[in-house]
Amino acid sequence: MRIAVLGTGMVGQALATKLVSLGHEVMMGSRCARNEKAIAWADQAGEGATEGEFGDAAAFGELVLNCTAGTASLDALRAAGEDNLADKVLVDVANPLDFSQGMPPTLEFCNDDSLGERIQAEFPRARVVKTLNTVNCEVMVEPARVPGEHVAFLSGDDETAKGEVAELLESFGWPPGRTVDLGGIRAARGMEMYLPLWLSLYGRLGTGDFNVSLEVGG
């Protein structure tokens, strides 16, 4: 499949590399042409790896992953172009963490809003699925780094899109029983608002290689 990975940071690199290793054609998108990190990535990632501006990548991809910094995601998607996102599954793994006031970061949108909802509202023809934002990028693409039956959450308004993303997650190593569909994109709120707890746990545990399992009674 042709996949656009928007964003050249750690998250974009981890996902793009994993997708190439799974045999997909991946274009890494960045704000400006000839982005050094994107070129370096494409050079070393091997066959199937290319790079371009956000718009080039979004036009190329049959599926688009938003791996930009959450506070820059709406601008990045505007640059990608609404027409280039139309009718495509848009996987949003970003968190709108605002570090401008120091640590701990706050969320740019929360409580009665979320980045996932903002994206769906501004790009109504995109089929937005929020997922994987509750684990770090190493765990996203190699869940077996963490023992146990830990889970990946999904939310989105398009059931078919969520099914396709669950299959993509399965190819990363997340079995179907460990993807938890929380409902419509409004549930992105809870997924993003989990981040402050994640950050506290990261501080407590001293590693990002962790996740939560669900235990259910009765």
Nearer to a copy of itself, 160 or 213 (CB): 213
Which chain residues interact with a copy of itself by CB under 8 A?
A: 101, 104, 106-107, 110-112, 139, 145-150, 153, 155, 180-183, 186-187, 189-191, 193-201, 203-205, 207, 209-218
CB of 157 to a copy of itself, least distance (A): 14
Find the shortest distance in angstroms from Cβ 111 to a copy of itself.
Answer: 5
Contacts of residue 6, defined as CB under 8 A and 6 or more positions apart, other chains included, come to 12, 29, 54, 57, 58, 64, 65, 66, 67, 68, 76, 77, 80
Which amino acid type is present at position 131? T
Nearer to a copy of itself, 23 or 183 (CB): 183
Angstrom distance (rounded) from CA 67 to CA 93: 6
Residues 172 and 208 sit within 8 Å (Cβ to Cβ): no
CB of 48 to a copy of itself, least distance (A): 29
Nearer to a copy of itself among residue 39 and residue 106 (C-beta): 106
Residue among 24 and 186 whose Cβ is closer to a copy of itself: 186
Q: Are 107 and 171 in contact (CB under 8 A)?
A: no
Give the separation between CA 109 and CA 133, rounded to whole angstroms: 15
Q: Which residues sit opposite 89 in a β-bridge?
A: 63, 127
Q: Please state, in angstroms and rounded to a whole number, the distance separating the CA atoms of residues 158 and 171.
A: 20
Closest CA to 195 of 107, 118, 116: 107
CB of 191 to a copy of itself, least distance (A): 6
Nearest approach, Cβ of 119 to a copy of itself (angstroms)?
A: 18
Instruction: Identify which of residues 35 and 136 has a Cβ nearer to a copy of itself in the complex.
Output: 136
Q: Which is nearer to a copy of itself, 18 or 88 (CB)?
A: 18
Q: How far is the CB of 105 from a copy of itself (least distance, A)?
A: 10
